[in-house]
Structure 1
Amino acid sequence: MNIHRALAEVQDLKEHLGEEFRGRVAYNFTDTPEVRFEGFQFPPGWKNTRGSRHGRVLFELPESYPDHPPHVYVDGEMRFEGGRPAAMAPARQDGDSKWVPLSVFPSERNWDPEANSLTTAVTQLMEVLQAPDREIPIESDAERTNDTDEHAEPSEANDDRTDESSEGSEQ
């Protein structure tokens, strides 16, 4: 994994999320190649078992990142309109947490390591979450920068969680 690029992309991602994102972005690439989002606001139609639209998201960066896209997981308690959409695969256990893989990049051909980044992955995640049973075309970061009004961004409300600042470790 290209750690320097991943660290730079996390910083770009935090800027992209801006102040509207009231959750927490956590990473520590020396221990695990992951970026975790706590308090991620899911679009309408999504709720967890407690009735909140806020949940956790995990990006697992493969050893070959950025040549291959991140694997995206959502909290196993999240449901879309009461059920699991086809984009969600069977759950996996991670300690006390249950994560469900979410098909954000239908194939590796949908990922261009020269044009895509973690910001692309979050934008694509939001597109898939808004219509989880529909295939969404993927834009490069450059294309998205030229046309930002069409893309929803995560989180504005802070209804059932504490406000936490972003954190990370660059050890």
Structure 2
Amino acid sequence: MKRGRAYEEARKLGERYPVEYSEADRRVVLERFDFPPGWDPQFGKLRYELPDTYPRDMPTVYVPKEMSYEGGSPTHLLHGISPYGDSDWSKWCIEDHNANWDPASDTLVKLTTMMRASLADPYSDNPFAEGSA
């Protein structure tokens, strides 16, 4: 993991959200992320687990386990998968959305924008396609 880049990207996210950055744990948590309409609660945390190979490989994304969308649970919300030793989170499977992570141009800031689109259209197989959400 390129720690300088991750730190700078977390700092940039800090211009919009309170951010908890842990270089030792390779974790970035956005505090008070404003989830799109339909999510309950509307404000919560968004967690990125950075792989050792970051930025070459895309971070894993987690939302608080109590999150629900219009009372249901979209297929991309994997309640049974959480970070090792921390069952307060559920994985959001953005990888299924054909995100096409490009380490040369994609950042945690762009991932946050991608997450907003994904969460706004949580039942879509490709929320990034024109006409989704």
Q: Into which bin does the TM-score normalised by the smaller protein fall?
A: 0.7 to 0.9
Question: How many angstroms apart in 2 are the aligned matches of 1:95 and 1:39?
Answer: 23
Alignment of structure 1 residues 123-142 onto 2, 5 Å: 123-134=113-124, 135-137=126-128
Q: Taking structure 1 as reference, are residues 78 and 7 closer, same or farther at Cα in structure 2, changes over 3 Å only?
A: same
Q: 1:82 aligns to what?
A: 71
Question: How many angstroms apart in 2 are the aligned matches of 1:133 and 1:27?
Answer: 30
Question: How many angstroms apart in 2 are the aligned matches of 1:80 and 1:99?
Answer: 15
SS in 2 for 1:112: coil
Tell which structure's C-alpha radius of gyration is larger: 1
Q: 2:94 aligns to what?
A: 104
Alignment of structure 1 residues 17-166 onto 2, 5 Å: 17=16, 21=17, 24-29=18-23, 31-47=24-40, 52-91=41-80, 92=82, 97-106=87-96, 110-134=100-124, 135-137=126-128
SS in 2 for 1:110: coil
Q: Following superposition, which runs of at least 4 residues in structure 1 exceed 3 angstroms of deviation?
A: 93-97
Question: How many angstroms apart in 2 are the aligned matches of 1:118 and 1:137?
Answer: 17
The alignment covers a number of residue pairs equal to 127
Q: Taking structure 1 as reference, are residues 93 and 62 closer, same or farther at Cα in structure 2, changes over 3 Å only?
A: closer
**CA contact 1:74–1:101 (8 Å) conserved in 2:** yes
**CA contact 1:68–1:108 (8 Å) conserved in 2:** no
Q: CA deviation at 1:105?
A: 3.0
SS in 1 for 2:57: coil
Q: Taking structure 1 as reference, are residues 40 and 129 closer, same or farther at Cα in structure 2, changes over 3 Å only?
A: same
Question: How many angstroms apart in 2 are the aligned matches of 1:106 and 1:95?
Answer: 24
Letter of the structure 1 residue corresponding to residue 101 of structure 2: W
SS in 2 for 1:106: helix
Gaps of 5+ in 1: 139-171
C-alpha root-mean-square deviation of aligned residues, in Å?
Answer: 2.1
Aligned residues with identical type, % of pairs? 35
Q: Taking structure 1 as reference, are residues 69 and 107 closer, same or farther at Cα in structure 2, changes over 3 Å only?
A: farther
Q: CA deviation at 1:107?
A: 6.9
Gaps of 5+ in 2: none
Question: How many angstroms apart in 1 are the aligned matches of 2:86 and 2:99?
Answer: 34
Q: 1:169 aligns to what?
A: none
